[in-house]
Amino acid sequence: MSDAAGTRRGRSAEGRAEVRRELVAAAAGLFADHGYDETTVDDIATAAGVGRRTFFRYFRGKEDALSPDHELGLARIAEVFAGAHPTEPLLPLVLRAAETVFDLYLDDVEVARSRFRLVRDVPALRDREAASVHHYRRLFTRELTARLAGVPDGELRAAVSAAAIVAAHNQALRRWLADGGRLADVDACRGHFRRVAPMLPLEPDDAGLEDVTRRLERAANALEGRQDGRSERRTG
Amino acid sequence: MSDAAGTRRGRSAEGRAEVRRELVAAAAGLFADHGYDETTVDDIATAAGVGRRTFFRYFRGKEDALSPDHELGLARIAEVFAGAHPTEPLLPLVLRAAETVFDLYLDDVEVARSRFRLVRDVPALRDREAASVHHYRRLFTRELTARLAGVPDGELRAAVSAAAIVAAHNQALRRWLADGGRLADVDACRGHFRRVAPMLPLEPDDAGLEDVTRRLERAANALEGRQDGRSERRTG
DNA sequence: CACCGTAACGGCACTGCGTGCCACAAGCAA
DNA sequence: TTGCTTGTGGCACGCAGTGCCGTTACGGTG
């Protein structure tokens, strides 16, 4: 065991990523096999071939080893917002930012499904997931608040829109993972998600409340329009 | 100290409630004075005049001692939903349920403000609060999903509406607590909260999507109507 | 009054998480 | 070689939370 550690000691960049992957894989395997609470950090570290102390140099705690992409998702969303024009309409911008997170789950579907089951069943992980979702919501709220400055009830509208966006996103993701998580359903999931977006109280500029009326009417029309057709929307 | 414990040993119902209050008060005081992380469970138990083991017989953990009203709030909301007619329109019902939680904070404003500052500053408590909010959201989602059965996109609409309701409620509460938390502002806070409600995608029955159009138009009109008047709404 | 069942409490010990500290090994530069 | 940096492992510590058991007060029963 000091053998494997010795051969890895040198590489600073590649070695760290490799150790991290091994720790994530070990944690996922042990969690799936013996459960979350029954798996100790010592078990994960030993399975990955490193010391217990090293584990905490890669993850803040045992829970972080399960979903290590959380901060990456936050960074990507922030990137989308940072790369957008200040006058860009908010609705497509928010959609683009939210859909960015979908790609993180598409990287390895099997791991995502395994994580989903685990988070659904273990209370401690449910709370952790809730905190994670809270961070996404906070980020959206911050960005929307900054872009809704000057608009009446801007903060309130930003908070509501952010919560609705994140909830719709999670609902779509949850349904996709619970129903099997086949890749063919990703489009349906995304459509499922986009469906709610037009009914959000978002303002592209400091236009005023008259534009909300038009936007809400458009959203209502969109809802009315796809009352029967479900998978036909990709052709329109 | 074995003196006070001895006199309390007898009363089973009154004694438990008293010990619980003492523990909550001790925890609040120690958290405010020395910080959350610097306060151990031993400190709280000692300050309350009980043993450390007893603390864990009253609270699941250190974090629960800060906001012991959480489950009570959930119970009250569930009570509102349970006492409503199945055909009752959802919008006023949801409003009534959400506003029930306001009363919990009005019982002792000073404690609420102290808790607010603490939760805002300590990361561990922020996550705990996020999990708590998540439970509220889940409860609303469950109730709305049951009442939107049969409606197209019922689950999605329930999830979005629940998230929006809870977000609006928290936004109003947060602003109230951050701005000083004077009792005179409670009405403004409640109006602040009610303002978003009409734009939610809620359905009173299995009416269909045509009614959404009307509802959204009404919401837009309501928004347009109060564009300038802010505190005049109590007279109209 | 004496006896016993129950319930709450306190103390003890234990597991496990997370952290601080220190020694050691490998690579790099002078 | 010597010195510096970086990553690592081990050790010890504080603390959260739990299981277990002895103790103590109360209420009922004879």
Q: B156 to chain A: which residues are within 8 Å by CB?
A: 168, 171-172, 192, 195-196
Number of domains in chain A: 2
Q: How far is CA B130 from the centre of its chain?
A: 11
Token output for A236 = 């329109």
Which pLDDT tens digit goes with each residue over A204-228? 333 333 444 444 445 444 444 444 3
User: B133 vs A1, which has greater pLDDT?
Assistant: B133
Is B110 found in the same domain as B15? no
What's the Å distance between residue A52 CA and nucleotide D2 C1'? 33
How far away is chain B from the Cα of A199, in angstroms, using its nearest Cα?
7
Q: Cβ of B16: how many Cβ atoms within 10 Å?
A: 13
What's the Å distance between residue B53 CA and nucleotide D26 C1'? 21
Q: Cβ of A43: how many Cβ atoms within 10 Å?
A: 16
Q: Is the pLDDT of residue A189 over 80?
A: no
Q: How far apart are CA A53 and CA B215, in angstroms?
A: 58
Pick the range with the lowest mean pLDDT from A112-121, A138-147, A205-214. A205-214
How far away is chain B from the Cα of A150, in angstroms, using its nearest Cα?
13
The one-letter amino acid code at A126 reads: R
Q: Which CATH number do you get for residue A201?
A: 1.10.357
Q: How far apart are CA B231 and CA B7, in angstroms?
A: 54
Which pLDDT tens digit goes with each residue over A83-112? 998 878 888 888 889 989 888 888 888 888
State percent of chain A over pLDDT 70: 73
pLDDT of residue A151: 79
CB-nearest to A130 from B130, B167, B220 is: B130
Which nucleotide is closest, CA of A1 to its C1'? D9
Residue with tokens 């395997």: A29
pLDDT tier at A181 (50, 70, 90 boundaries)? low
State percent of chain B over pLDDT 90: 39
Q: Count Cβ atoms within 10 A of the Cβ of residue B205 and give its class: 0-12 exposed, 13-18 middle, 19 or more buried.
A: middle
Task: Give Cα separations from A69 to B124, B161, B188 (angstroms).
Answer: 20, 28, 41
pLDDT of residue B148: 86
Is A75 found in the same domain as A29? no
Q: Count Cβ atoms within 10 A of the Cβ of residue B226 and give its class: 0-12 exposed, 13-18 middle, 19 or more buried.
A: middle
Phi/psi-derived region of residue B175, left when phi > 0, alpha when psi is between -120 and 50, beta in every other case:
alpha
In chain B, positions 90-149 with C-beta closer than 7 Å to nucleic chain D are none
Pick the range with the lowest mean pLDDT from A2-16, A124-138, B125-139, B213-227. B213-227
Token output for A27 = 């944690």
User: B172 vs B233, which has greater pLDDT?
Assistant: B172
Is B155 found in the same domain as B45? no
Is B74 found in the same domain as B54? no
Which pLDDT tens digit goes with each residue over B151-181? 777 888 889 889 988 998 898 888 888 877 6
- Domain limits at B44? 2-60
Is A20 found in the same domain as A105? no
Q: Is the pLDDT of residue B52 over 80?
A: yes
Number of helices and strands (H, E) in chain A?
Answer: 11, 0
pLDDT tier at A197 (50, 70, 90 boundaries)? low
In chain A, the residue whose alpha carbon lies closest to the alpha carbon of B125 is A131
Q: Please, which residues have CB within 8 angstroms of residue B23's CB and are 6 or more apart in sequence?
A: B44, B45, B48, B50, B55, B58, B59, B65
Which residue is the nearest neighbor of D15, CA to C1'? B40
pLDDT of residue A9: 46
Q: A201 to chain B: which residues are within 8 Å by CB?
A: 196, 199, 223
Pick the range with the lowest mean pLDDT from A40-49, A60-69, A129-138, B204-213. B204-213
Q: How far apart are CA B177 and CA A19, in angstroms?
A: 45
What's the Å distance between residue A42 CA and nucleotide C13 C1'? 21
Nearest alpha carbon to residue A214 among B224, B228, B157: B224
Q: Where does a domain end: A65, A94, A120?
A: A65
Among B63, B216, B227, the strongest candidate for a mutation testing the A interface, having the largest count of A CBs within 10 A, is B216
pLDDT tier at B126 (50, 70, 90 boundaries)? very high
Chain C nucleotides reached by a protein CB under 7 Å: 7-12, 15-21, 25-27
Residues facing strand C, Cβ within 7 A: A 6, 9-10, 39-42, 52-53, 56, 60-63; B 5, 8-9, 12, 15-16, 19, 49-54, 57
Average pLDDT over residues B12-26: 84
Q: A219 to chain B: which residues are within 8 Å by CB?
A: 216
Q: Is residue B139 one of the residues assigned to a domain?
A: yes
Q: How far apart are CA B106 and CA B73, in angstroms?
A: 13
Pick the range with the lowest mean pLDDT from A123-137, A198-212, B64-78. A198-212
Which nucleotide is closest, CA of B63 to its C1'? D16
Q: Where does a domain end: A65, A88, A105?
A: A65
Is B186 found in the same domain as B156? yes
Is B163 found in the same domain as B82? yes
Is B155 found in the same domain as B186? yes
pLDDT of residue B196: 63
pLDDT tier at B14 (50, 70, 90 boundaries)? low
The one-letter amino acid code at A98 reads: A
pLDDT of residue A198: 58
Q: Is the pLDDT of residue A31 over 50?
A: yes
Is A131 found in the same domain as A212? yes
Q: Please, which residues have CB within 8 angstroms of residue B86's CB and are 6 or more apart in sequence?
A: B147
pLDDT tier at A191 (50, 70, 90 boundaries)? confident
In chain A, the residue whose alpha carbon lies closest to the alpha carbon of B126 is A131
Q: Assess contact for A5 and A50: CB atoms under 8 A.
A: yes
Helices (H), B9-108: 13-34, 41-48, 52-58, 70-82, 90-106
Interface contact B223-A208, CB threshold 8 A? no
Is A45 found in the same domain as A20? yes
Is B80 found in the same domain as B29? no
Nearest alpha carbon to residue A231 among A198, A184, A166, A180: A184
Q: Is the pLDDT of residue B206 over 50?
A: no
User: Hey, is A151 helix, strand or coil?
Assistant: coil
Q: Assess contact for B176 and B184: CB atoms under 8 A.
A: no
Q: Which CATH number do you get for residue B20?
A: 1.10.10.60
pLDDT tier at A16 (50, 70, 90 boundaries)? confident
Q: Assess contact for A118 and A66: CB atoms under 8 A.
A: yes
Helix (H) or strand (E) holding A191: helix A186-194
In chain B, the residue whose alpha carbon lies closest to the alpha carbon of A172 is B156
Q: Is the pLDDT of residue A143 over 90?
A: yes
Pick the range with the lowest mean pLDDT from A88-97, B81-90, B219-228. B219-228
Q: Cβ of B236: how many Cβ atoms within 10 Å?
A: 7
Interface contact B220-A213, CB threshold 8 A? yes
User: B68 vs B190, which has greater pLDDT?
Assistant: B68
Is A75 found in the same domain as A44? no
Q: Is the pLDDT of residue B221 over 60?
A: no
Q: Is the pLDDT of residue A53 over 70?
A: yes
